[in-house]
A and B are shown apart, each in its own frame.
Chain A
Amino acid sequence: MKGKVKIRRKEMPVTALNKGEEGIIVKVGGSELERRKLFALGLLPGEVIILEEGYPVILLRSGYTLAALDEEMAKNIFVRSLGVHQ
C-alpha cells in the first residue's frame, strides 16, 4: 500500500472515491429494500471496498465479489477513504 493520493478521513459517498481508491464502509442509507439489497451483496458497514470503475456504473470490489450499482444506489453507501490500493 502506498498513500500517493492524500488520505481523506472524511465520510463521503462511495461515488466520490477515485478510481482504484479503497474505502471502508461506514454507513448504508436509502430505503429498507435497497439497504437489504446492498447487505445481500455484502456491502455493509465495516466492509472494505475498492472502486474499480466509476462510469457508466459504479463497480465495487469487495473480497472476491464484484458488484455493479447505478449512481442512485451507490450514493447511499458512505465510506471513509483508505487511500489508493496497489
Chain B
Amino acid sequence: MGKGKRVVLVGRPNVGKSVIFNQLTSSYGMVSNYPGTTVEVRKGTGEGSGGSYQVLDSPGIYNLLPFSKEEEVTLNILLEGNIHLVVQVVEGKNIEKTLPFTFQLMETGFPLVLVVNMLDEGERLGIRIDLGELEKKLKIPVVGTVSTRGRGINKLKETIDKELGKKLTKWKIPFALGDYPPAVKEPLQKMVSHMEGYYKFNKRALALMFLQGEARAEEILKKGEGRNYRTLVKIREKESRDFSLLINSWRLGKAREILQGAVHFSREKTISRRDLLSRITLHPLGGLPLLFLVLYIGLYKFVGIFGAGTLVDYLDGQIFELWVIPHLVGAIEHLPLPGLKYLFLSPYGIITLGFRYGLAIVLPIVCTFFLFLSVVEDSGYLPRLAMLLDRFFKKFGLNGRSVIPLVLGLGCGTMAVLSTRTLEGERERFIAVFLLALGVPCSAQLGIIMAMLAMSPAALVIWGAALLVVLSVCGYLMDKFLPGKPSKFYMEIPPLRIPNPGSVLKKTLARVKWYMKEVIPLFLLISVFMVLGSLTGLLTFLTEISAPFLQAMGLPRHLASVFMIGFFRRDYGAAGLYTLLREGELTINQLLVASLTLSLFLPCIAQFVMIIREQGYLKGFIILILVMISAFLAGCLLNLFLTGLSWGGGL
C-alpha cells in the first residue's frame, strides 16, 4: 500500500531531522549541532508493512517562506515533489515557537505527522508534554521521540506506515483550529475565490504566502493566473495591512492556546554546569581564549603533532618505506612489461606517489582532523564562534554565518563550497567561495604543512600570519570593490551538547570513506598524468614556463611538479613538498614560501568542479584567475620579506 510513496522530513534547522532520517532508513546523512548541516535533499528507503517507501531528508526551514538557497530546496520539494506524507520534526522544549509552522503545514493540506523530538532535553528542564492531548487538539498524529537514543522511533515507523496506508486525503484541510481574524480572513477568502489557475499546492496556503509578500508564491501565482494576477495584487494592496504581523501573531496565539493544558512545567529551571560553560562560550572574554585553546589542543597538538607527526612518521617511515614498498617492488619487478614497472615505480608512479601519499601521509591526517572536527561540530561550539566573529567577518563582506563554511573548509574545501548555500546573498557566497579557494587549506594540506614547519615554530607562526594577512586583504578588497553590503546576521544558538562517541565515530568514518573515494581514482589519474608528462616532455615544458615565476619567488625550478600535483589535489602537493624536505632539497625560507604559495594556489580539481557547479563558469574562472594572481604576489612578497630579514636562511 505504501509502496513507492514519498515521505519528507521537514522542520526547523537543528531539530534532529537527519538523526531521524538515519533511523528510518539505512543510509547515513550528516548530523551536527549547528543549524544548516543538511544543505541538499537526501533520499533513503524505509520499510513498511506495505512495502518500502522513500524518505527525504531536507534542509531546515523556519516556515514556508525561505531565506536562503538551501531553504528554497525544501520549499521546492513541498511545492513540486509529489509528496504523500509530511513528517514535521520539532524540538520539544521549543514547541511553542514551532507550532505556527505546523499550522502552516496543515494549511497546505498535506497529510502531516508531528514528531516531538528531544524529549530528553525538555524533561531535563522539567517540561512534560502530553502528546495524547496534543494529538486530540491538533487532530493529526503526534509521536514523541528521543531520536539519538532511538526512543519512539518504532512508534514513528508504525505511524508512517499507517498514514501511508490511508486513502489519499490530500487537500482536505483539517482546520479544527478556527480561522484568522477578519482582517486576514476576508481578503484571503476574496483571493481564493478569484484564483483561477491550477496548482499542486493548496490555494489558500498559497494565498497566505502571497499576502505576506513571499517572492516564490508571487512567482507561482503570476504564472498560474496570467492577467488575473493583477486582481490579486489589488486585493492585497487595497487593505494595506501588516499581514505578516497579523498572520504570525494569530498563529502564535493559537499555539499558546493549544499548548495550554498540554505542556506542563514541573520545576523551576536550575543552572547546571553545562549552562555555565554555555555562558562562558557566549561571552567574548570567555570565547576567544577558548578558541585558542581549541585550536592549540585540537588542531596543533592532535592533528598537527600527533596525526601529521607521529602517525605519519610511523606509517610512512616504518610501514611503507621498510615494508610495503619493498614488498610491492619485489612483486612488480617480476612483471614482464617494463612500461608497467615505470608506471608503478618511477618517482611519480602509482605506488611511489599515489599510493604512498594517499595512504601513508594523507589518510592519518585526514582521520585525525575529521575526528577533531566532528567533536567540535557536535558540541555546538561553531554557532558560538560564528556569533563571536560576526563583527570581524563583516570587514570582509561576510557575516558570522560564513564562519561555519570556512571552518568546514579546513576539513575539505569541496564540502565547504557546498555549504556556502546556507549564506543568504550572492555576494557573500562568492566571497566565501573565493576565500575557500584561495587560502583555506584543507585538513591534509594543513596537517602536512604543520608537521613540516613544526621544527621551527617561528616559521609556523609566519606561515599562519601570512595566510591570515592574505585572506584578510583579499576579503577586504572584495568587500570594497563588489557592489552591495554584507547581509545582516541572525542565528539561533543551540545548546551545548556532549558529543556522543558513537555518532562522532560514525560521522568521521563516513567522511573518511567519502574522502578516500574521491582520492583513490585521482591518485591513479595523477600518477598516469605525471608519468605521461615526464615521458612526453610535457612536464619539462611546463617546468620551463613556470621557472621564471618560481624564480621570482626564490624557489628552485623543480618545485614546478609539486605545484602541478597540487592542482590535482592540494594535499598531494603538500605531500610532494614533504618528500623534497626529507630529501634535504629545500632551505627553510624556500619551504616557507612554497608552503604559503601552495596553500594559496589553485583549489584542487574536485573543489574547482564544485565551484563551477555552485557559481557557474564565469565566476568560477574569475575565481581561478584571481587566486593564481594572489598566490603568486603573496609568494613574491613573502620572499622579499624573508630575504630582507637579516636572519636570511637561518630561521
Contacts and interface: CB of A to CB of B under 8 A. Distances in A.
Interface of A: 28, 32-42, 44-47, 52-53, 55-57, 59, 63-70, 72-73
Interface string B488-503: 1111110100000000
B244 interface: yes
B249 A73 contact: no
Interface in B232-279: 244-245, 248-249, 252
Contacts of A69: 488-490
Chain A's interface: helix, strand, loop or mixed, by majority?
Answer: mixed
Nearest to A59: B282
B107 interface: no
B492 A66 contact: yes
Interface in B376-415: 383, 386-388, 390-391, 394, 399-400
B492 A36 contact: no
B490 A41 contact: yes
Given A28-B245, A44-B245, A59 B387 contact: yes
A35 to B, nearest CB: 6
Contacts of A34: 488
Interface string B461-499: 000000000000000000000000000111111010000
Contacts of B400: 57, 68, 70
A41 B62 CA distance: 8
- State the 4 A-B residue pairs at the shortest beta-carbon distance, nearest first: A40-B62, A70-B489, A42-B97, A73-B488
B244 A32 contact: yes
A33 B168 CA distance: 35
Contact of A65 (B65, B388, B391, B492): B492
Contacts of A46: 249, 252
Contact of B67 (A28, A33, A47): A33
B93 interface: yes
B63 interface: yes
B571 interface: no
A56 B249 contact: no
B490 A68 contact: yes
A44 B62 CA distance: 14
A74 B391 CA distance: 14
B94 interface: yes
Given A57-B387, A68-B386, 8 more contacts: A39-B245, A42-B96, A42-B252, A52-B282, A64-B93, A67-B491, A68-B492, A70-B391
- Looking at chain B's contact residues, the main secondary structure is helix
A31 B97 CA distance: 22
A73 B489 contact: yes
A70 B244 contact: no
B490 A32 contact: no
Contacts of B94: 63-65
Interface string B59-93: 00011010100000000000000000000000001
Contacts of B192: none
B213 interface: yes
B248 A44 contact: yes
Given A40-B62, A46-B249, A67 B390 contact: no
7 contacts: A32-B244, A36-B67, A44-B245, A56-B388, A65-B94, A68-B490, A70-B488
A34 B487 CA distance: 10
A35 B244 CA distance: 8
B149 interface: no
Contacts of B488: 34, 69-70, 72-73
B136 interface: no
Nearest to B248: A39
B212 interface: yes
Given A32-B213, A40-B62, A57-B489, A70 B399 contact: yes
B556 interface: no
B387 A45 contact: no
B390 A40 contact: no
Nearest to B485: A72
B68 to A, nearest CB: 10
Contact of A56 (B96, B125, B391, B495): B391
Nearest to B93: A64
A80 to B, nearest CB: 17
**Residue with the greatest number of chain A CB neighbours at <10 A, chosen from B252, B387, B390:** B387
Nearest to A72: B488
B155 interface: no
A73 B401 CA distance: 14
B284 A56 contact: yes
Contacts of B493: 59, 66-68
Nearest to B283: A53
Contacts of A40: 62-63, 65, 67
A41 B67 CA distance: 12
Contacts of B386: 68
B244 A63 contact: no
Nearest to A28: B245
Contacts of B399: 70
A74 B488 CA distance: 10
